[in-house]
Chain A
């Protein structure tokens, strides 16, 4: 368990060392101008693990067995490996397992242009995302306009 904790601390330290240089890229010279790419970065990780052993898993059950006498309960409380009140059917299989995952993403959001006429920031738009949002917005607006027209039509026809 200590090894796993140490490993987690090491992974956490790596993630903590988020470097601003990863956001601001290496300057590129193009003619008289220098371009510095700027990106938004995101990354993360998650790990999970668990262990189960028969004596631990069934400790409470073993200690509360009706058949268990005082000696067995004391042995159980003391952390004994086996309990005579635990039958074969009661004892579970020992096991341990774990898993984890990590991922990252970098998306350009702008570039800084340094030229003879000064420094300026040029934003970069994610046109694919904007187009998708535009389609959704169009569908949303058409739906609402349809509802309004339907209500208007119902109002006019009921008047007649």
Chain B
């Protein structure tokens, strides 16, 4: 069994010309492949756009292409972790308080 290998490359695409502007896209390509040539192989490729460089009369400008869905999901995951952390803290404090009350009584 050969362990899967992962490669990540940034590839510049074919420039897109719109009027006087020229857009140069770039994509990050992640390839994962593995298996045994004698028994079978698999390959998975994911291409995600990362930016566009705009070239015009005003000069060159870099435009990021955000993954809004992934960013929002990350924020929600962060909120979930935060809620859990605060809740665990509060539960711990309440239990500590209850324990001290029992000792006093």
Contact = CB atoms under 8 A, between A and B. Distances in A.
Interface of A: 1, 5, 8, 11-12, 15-16, 18, 20-24, 27, 34, 36, 38-50, 98, 109-110, 112, 114, 119-121, 123-126, 129-130, 133-134, 137, 140-141, 144-145, 147-148, 151-152, 154-155, 158-159
Given A15-B45, A23-B27, A129-B73, A109 B40 contact: no
B19 A114 contact: yes
A23 to B, nearest CB: 5
A70 to B, nearest CB: 32
Contact of B46 (A5, A42, A133, A152): A42
Contacts of A130: 69, 72-73, 76
Given A44-B42, A49-B39, A159-B101, A109 B65 contact: yes
B37 A8 contact: yes
A1 B66 CA distance: 45
B35 to A, nearest CB: 8
A29 B39 CA distance: 50
Nearest to A42: B46
B90 A148 contact: yes
Contacts of A141: 79-80, 83
A119 B54 contact: yes
Given A38-B49, A151-B91, A125 B98 contact: no
Nearest first, the 5 A-B pairs at minimum CB distance are A20-B13, A48-B40, A44-B44, A46-B42, A123-B68
Q: B interface, how many residues as a size bin?
A: 35 or more
Contacts of B5: none
A151 B23 contact: no
Given A47-B40, A47-B41, A119 B49 contact: no
A43 B45 contact: yes
Counting chain B CB atoms within 10 Å of each CB, which of A125, A145, A151 scores highest? Answer: A151
A20 B25 contact: yes
A126 B46 CA distance: 18
Contacts of B80: 137, 140-141
A130 to B, nearest CB: 6
Nearest to B30: A42
Contacts of B26: 20
Contacts of B35: 46, 48
Interface in B52-86: 52, 54, 61, 63-69, 72-73, 76, 79-80, 83-84
